[in-house]
Amino acid sequence: MIETVVEAAGVPRARQMLERAVWASRAYARYDRATVRRIVDEVARVAEAKAEEYAEWAVRETGFGVVEHKVVKNRLCSRGIVDTYRDEDLVTPRVDEPRRMVAVPRPAGVVLALTPSTNPVSTVYFKVLLALMSRNAVVVSPHPIARECCADAAQALGAAAVAAGAPDGIVQVVEEPSVPLVTALMNDERTDVILATGGVAMVRAAYCSGNPAIGVGPGNVPVLVDATADLGRTAERLVDSKAFDNSVLCTNESVLVVEDAVADRLLREMARRGAYLCDDGERDRLRETVFPAGRFDTSLVGRAATDIAERAGIRVPPRTRILLAPFDLVVDEEPLAHEKLCPVLGVVRVSSAARGIRTASAVLRIGGAGHSAVVHSSDPGTVMAYAAAVPVLRVTVNEGGSTGSAGFGTHLAPSMTIGTGFVGRSSLGENLQPRHLVNWTRIAYSDDPATVMPAFDGRVPWAAPETAVPPYPEPSNASGAPVSALRPAEPEDASALREEIRRMIIEELTTIVRG
């Protein structure tokens, strides 16, 4: 008796996408540097030209954030990224004559890029461009909430890459994400590396897939302001950062720890710039609104401060940009000490900078280990003590955390994927860069002086493709039909099975959205 095995919905589609990506990655890995740069430049040009369109689309589809701020992120993650890495050569072999070694770049191959709902298109831009710079193929799997804008963006970038000479299939996108399809993509051995940016459950699933994964953990950013800080400048940077895209970046400040000697003055300066300081009663209503039953209300992600205040029954000036919620103890039981992806900033007063450092460390013990911290101070001793004590891998000084820790406004690597290192249970300890998607084969000659190492300068094993765009090959029995069209015929009674699978997918997607 032959047992019929019904595959989960999406598995055949995943296999098709990955097979096509494998072919494209192998073809693209033979391209020379000049051709790669031309392709990357054209893709960045198209991405930058559509920055406004996709910013508006993302806010319309997800309800998160601020259009003009998403425009900034889209531009920074298109032309900004390319300009940053323009002089970085990940194609040409590197000759080290004194050490008698030659390093030959080896791209990862097929990159599976999981993108979040909070920074949807900017992350698509970022991961697609990093993959193209490093001569990899990329399959984009967007968050279901941001499916439409991300799918359109990935398709636009893929079309631009192919028009500029990249292999067909170098950029693909999951247009209808489902749990079985994404799981199949993550678990398939043809996926060479997973770039996981999003919720904890998704990142853990990527690490459990059996394939190499670069995942990042959640943030919960403390910001310390000591008595030596420039209070006017600090207030401006804090409010601007917390209000940027309504706090959807995981690098946004979560808890303000301020030295008591300057607390009143700092809060007045922040109020002048659009911050509203809640009294105790308002703070309690705000806490219950943002953390009903002690859990963050995800419907408030990226919402305006005035909308959140209205929901909490707090009357605020119409130009209010952020809400300040004072509390006393940084403990796990205090919801306001946890991450808040909305313009609500917890405020804790401390007696000294040393006490503030311990308080900031307590914030990170609750959540956000390995991620980011911010300090505003003119005392290098305080800055050094802070950086040595807080368990994070990036400390932004006298700059807003939202953009500063992401490498915009500082000289950290500009990135939409923030590695949290070992302390944050991540394989990456810095901001994701194109070099992280390349390994190097090292040719190592004997260190015996009698062994001659020949000259390797100018020897590059890659070349421009012979045809403008290498076509995806068709099987000999396809009768001219593209591979994507080769699907087994459905049995006549498949409609009921199809409907049942559709129902399961809808249930799974609903769970993701609500989670």
In a domain, 425, yes or no: no
Q: What are 392's strand-pairing partners? A: 370
In a domain, 503, yes or no: no
pLDDT at 83: 96
Q: Do 111 and 164 lie in a common domain? A: yes
Q: Do 227 and 202 lie in a common domain? A: no
Q: Do 142 and 241 lie in a common domain? A: no
Nearest to 437 by CA among 14, 149, 85: 85
Q: Do 311 and 365 lie in a common domain? A: yes
Q: Do 123 and 257 lie in a common domain? A: no
For residues 153 and 71, what is the distance between their CA atoms, to the nearest angstrom?
14
Q: What is the pLDDT of residues 421-447, one digit of tens each?
A: 999 988 899 999 999 999 999 999 999
Q: What is the pLDDT of residues 143-185, one digit of tens each?
A: 999 999 999 999 999 999 999 999 999 999 999 988 889 999 9
Contacts of 224 (CB under 8 A, 6+ apart): 257, 258, 353, 356, 357, 360, 373, 374, 375, 376, 377, 382, 386
Q: Do 346 and 202 lie in a common domain? A: no
Contacts of 281 (CB under 8 A, 6+ apart): none
CA angle (318 as vertex; 313, 320 as ends), nearest 5: 85
In a domain, 490, yes or no: no
For residues 316 and 297, what is the distance between their CA atoms, to the nearest angstrom?
21
Q: What's the predicted TM-score (pTM) here?
A: 0.89
Return mean pLDDT, the chain: 90
Question: Picking from 93-97, 273-277, 420-424, 496-500, which range would have the lowest pLDDT averaged per residue?
Answer: 496-500
Six-digit token string for 413: 């690597």
In a domain, 479, yes or no: no
pLDDT at 490: 38
Q: Which amino acid is at 449?
A: P
pLDDT at 468: 64
Selecting among 149, 150, 250, 342, the annotated active-site residue is 250
Structural domain count of the chain:
2
In a domain, 418, yes or no: no
Nearest to 15 by CA among 172, 143, 197: 172
pLDDT surpassing 80 at residue 515? no
CA torsion sign for 130, 134, 140, 141 is: negative
In a domain, 476, yes or no: no
Q: What is the pLDDT of residues 313-329, one digit of tens each?
A: 999 999 999 999 999 99
Q: Do 119 and 139 lie in a common domain? A: yes
Q: Sorting pLDDT into bands at 50, 70 and 90, what band is 474? A: low
Q: Do 341 and 295 lie in a common domain? A: yes
Classified as helix, coil or strand, 375 is: strand
pLDDT at 197: 85
CB-CB neighbours of 91 under 10 Å: 21
pLDDT surpassing 50 at residue 204? yes
CATH code, 293: 3.40.309.10
Q: How many residues does the chain have?
A: 515
2-31 burial string, b = 16+ CB within 10 Å, else e? Answer: eeeeeebbbbebbebbbbbbbbbbebbbeb
Q: Sorting pLDDT into bands at 50, 70 and 90, what band is 229? A: very high
Pairing relation of β-strands 373-376 and 221-225?
Answer: parallel
Q: Sorting pLDDT into bands at 50, 70 and 90, what band is 142? A: very high
Q: Whole domain around residue 367: which residue ranges?
A: 221-413
Distances (CA, A) of 23 to 26, 40, 485: 5, 19, 17
Q: Do 103 and 227 lie in a common domain? A: no
Residue with tokens 């015996």: 448
Q: Do 242 and 314 lie in a common domain? A: yes
In a domain, 300, yes or no: yes
pLDDT surpassing 50 at residue 117? yes
Contacts of 244 (CB under 8 A, 6+ apart): 66, 69, 252, 400, 402, 403
Mean pLDDT computed over 269-287: 98
pLDDT surpassing 60 at residue 200? yes
Q: Do 19 and 155 lie in a common domain? A: yes
Q: What is the pLDDT of residues 440-467, one digit of tens each?
A: 999 999 999 888 999 998 899 998 887 6
pLDDT surpassing 50 at residue 385? yes
Q: Do 328 and 393 lie in a common domain? A: yes
Mean pLDDT computed over 341-350: 98
For residues 249 and 256, what is the distance between their CA atoms, to the nearest angstrom?
17
Element at 452 (helix H, strand E):
none
In a domain, 1, yes or no: no
Domain boundary at 421, 444, 467, which? Answer: 444
CATH code, 52: 3.40.605.10
Question: Picking from 23-32, 414-423, 463-472, which range would have the lowest pLDDT averaged per residue?
Answer: 463-472
Six-digit token string for 411: 């000289």
Is 250 a residue of the active site? Answer: yes
pLDDT at 504: 46
pLDDT surpassing 50 at residue 4? no
